[in-house]
């Protein structure tokens, strides 16, 4: 959420930013919120005058009663009563205007970083760098579920009967591989100085609206019927929510956390849930990383976060590349985002396996995450990044480590988590 003072003083900057995100329908919102904010401040000013006058009259009433001037005191009491009614109306109007301003401010997109390329959608994202040499083997690489089925490692048919499309049973060595990747990612991040955390897997609506836009919320979140609770779509929401309504000492920053959780997503608006695949699904598990830091440190942490994902995938012999997300592909709260994509030998192209985002102070403003510094109080910056999400990681892992005889090699880094196993056969 944008600072209202910044919006008042820089309306054209906000409008240009909206144009750069190709959301022209939101342009009138800037002028609308400026007018509502003006009315809100005027109403507050009148209310403050009435409060001050009421306090003044109340003191005079006490003095008049003390002097025995009951009639004059009663006249002033009548004025106070009349002003009280007017004040109640002003306070109600002030609350209504403030609510409208907040509602509009929640849908005005955050100011994007100057490094973000201008583009309409993900087709205009820009490749930044490649890590590792993409290889296409001289044998055919089967579809990922076919590889898993050869090891009796997945049961989609039973899952469909139990829960519908978008779910799966993982079995045997494939299930163990899934857990091994999560455990390896956990220790990988702990070794990089992050504190391990298992968060709540449900969050309240005020946390949901604090960490994401309304459009994202509608497309992603499952609501628990009859309760003010939502299943998390990703653990960064619960992890950032950990700091809601807190005043963090500057000396205690940065806060660097890595979290494990299951994730639940409606995938509303997605191009269909695959019946035979695990690329886009309703339930999966993930290792995440989040940072809460000083504003001047967020750029440095942004680069560290995406590099962690690159390093993890390279440690498992998987070639990856990074993509700078263009303006039209950024969610409204994001200042900047880089996707990490893994190489698919079967498709002969890269596909997304993680996304690193800097949200500036947008989430901190919504959730009131403040920092107490030497020069006063200010809002923290928040960042998040996927360490690894095994369903997509499994696709990349199996395709890149598949051998001509149908076996799958296990890289040395992962072998301790597979009981010393070197090959799945």
Checking if the pLDDT of 74 tops 90, the result is no
Same topology for domains 4-105 and 122-424, yes or no? no
What does the pLDDT look like over 204-242, one tens digit per residue? 999 998 998 777 777 789 999 999 999 999 999 999 999
Query: Which CATH number applies to 122-424?
Result: 3.30.930.10
What does the pLDDT look like over 366-392, one tens digit per residue? 999 999 999 899 999 999 999 999 889
Instruction: Please report which confidence band the pLDDT of residue 38 belongs to, taking 50, 70 and 90 as the band edges.
Output: very high
What does the pLDDT look like over 293-351, one tens digit per residue? 999 999 999 999 999 999 999 999 999 999 999 999 999 999 999 999 999 999 999 99
Other beta carbons within 10 angstroms of residue 135's beta carbon come to: 11
Q: What is the 3-state secondary structure (H, E, C) of the chain?
A: CCCHHHHHHCHHHHHHHHHHCCCHHHHHHHHHHHHHHHHHHHHHHHHHHHHHHHHHHHHHHHHHHHCCCHHHHHHHHHHHHHHHHHHHHHHHHHHHHHHHHHHHHCCCCCCCCCCCCCCCCHHHCEEEEEECCCCCCCCCCCCHHHHHHHCCCEEHHHHHHHHCCCCCEECHHHHHHHHHHHHHHHHHHHCCCCEEECCCCEECHHHHHHHCCHHHHHHHCEECCCCCCEECCCHHHHHHHCCCCEEEEHHHCCEEEEEEEEEECCCCCCCCCCCCCCCCCCEEEEEEEEEEECHHHHHHHHHHHHHHHHHHHHHCCCCEEEEECCHHHCCCCCCEEEEEEEEECCCCEEEEEEEEEECCCHHHHHHCEEEEECCEEEECEEEEEEEECHHHHHHHHHHHCECCCCCEECCHHHHHHHCCCCEEC
Whats the size of the chain, residue-wise?
A: 425
Instruction: Please report which confidence band the pLDDT of residue 364 belongs to, taking 50, 70 and 90 as the band edges.
Output: very high
Pairing between strand 408-409 and 320-324? unpaired
pLDDT at 357: 97
R_g of the chain computed on alpha carbons: 27
State the architecture of 4-105 in CATH terms: Orthogonal Bundle (1.10)
Checking if the pLDDT of 67 tops 80, the result is no
Instruction: Please report which confidence band the pLDDT of residue 66 belongs to, taking 50, 70 and 90 as the band edges.
Output: low
pLDDT at 130: 98
pLDDT at 56: 76
Instruction: Please report which confidence band the pLDDT of residue 410 belongs to, taking 50, 70 and 90 as the band edges.
Output: very high
Domain residue extents for the chain? 4-105, 122-424
pLDDT at 273: 52
Instruction: Please report which confidence band the pLDDT of residue 48 belongs to, taking 50, 70 and 90 as the band edges.
Output: confident
pLDDT at 239: 96
Checking if the pLDDT of 13 tops 70, the result is yes
Q: Share the mean pLDDT of the chain.
A: 91
């Amino acid at each position: 959420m944008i600072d209202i003072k910044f919006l008042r003083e820089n309306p054209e900057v906000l409008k240009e930013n909206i144009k750069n995100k190709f959301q022209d329908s939101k342009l009138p919102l800037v002028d609308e919120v400026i007018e509502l904010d003006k009315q809100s401040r005027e109403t507050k000013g009148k209310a403050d005058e009435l409060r001050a006058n009421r306090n003044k009259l109340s003191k005079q009433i006490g003095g008049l009663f003390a002097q025995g001037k009951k009639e004059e005191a009663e006249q002033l009491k009548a004025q106070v009563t009349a002003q009280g009614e007017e004040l109640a109306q002003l306070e109600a109007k002030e609350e209504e205007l403030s609510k409208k301003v907040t509602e509009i401010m929640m849908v005005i997109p955050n100011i994007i970083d100057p490094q973000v390329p201008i583009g309409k959608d993900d087709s205009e994202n820009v490749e930044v760098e490649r890590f590792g040499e993409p290889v296409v083997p001289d044998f055919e690489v089967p579809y990922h579920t076919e590889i898993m089925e050869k090891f009796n490692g997945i049961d989609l048919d039973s899952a469909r009967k139990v829960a519908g499309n978008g779910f799966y049973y993982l079995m045997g060595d494939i299930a163990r591989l899934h857990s091994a990747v999560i455990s390896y990612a956990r220790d990988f991040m702990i070794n990089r100085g992050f504190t391990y955390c298992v968060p709540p897997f449900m969050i309240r609506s005020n946390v949901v609206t604090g960490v994401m836009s309304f459009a994202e919320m509608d497309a992603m979140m499952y609501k628990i019927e009859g309760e003010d609770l939502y299943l998390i779509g990703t653990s960064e929401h619960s992890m950032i929510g950990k700091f809601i309504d807190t005043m963090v000492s500057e000396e205690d920053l940065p806060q660097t956390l890595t979290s494990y959780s299951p994730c639940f997503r409606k995938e509303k608006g997605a191009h269909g849930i695959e019946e035979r695949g695990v690329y886009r699904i309703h339930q999966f598990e993930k290792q995440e990383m989040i940072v809460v830091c000083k504003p001047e440190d967020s750029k440095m942490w942004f680069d560290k976060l995406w590099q962690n994902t690159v390093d993890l995938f390279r440690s498992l012999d998987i070639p990856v590349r990074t993509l700078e997300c263009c303006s039209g592909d950024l969610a409204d709260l994001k200042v900047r985002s880089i996707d990490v994509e893994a190489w698919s030998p079967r498709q002969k192209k890269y596909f997304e396996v993680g996304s690193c985002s800097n949200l500036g102070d947008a989430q901190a403003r919504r959730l009131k995450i403040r920092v107490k510094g030497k020069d006063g109080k200010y809002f923290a910056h928040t960042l998040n990044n996927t360490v690894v999400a095994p369903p997509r990681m499994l696709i990349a892992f199996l395709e890149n480590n598949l051998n001509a005889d149908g076996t799958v090699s296990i890289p040395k880094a992962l072998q301790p988590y597979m009981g010393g196993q070197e090959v799945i056969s």
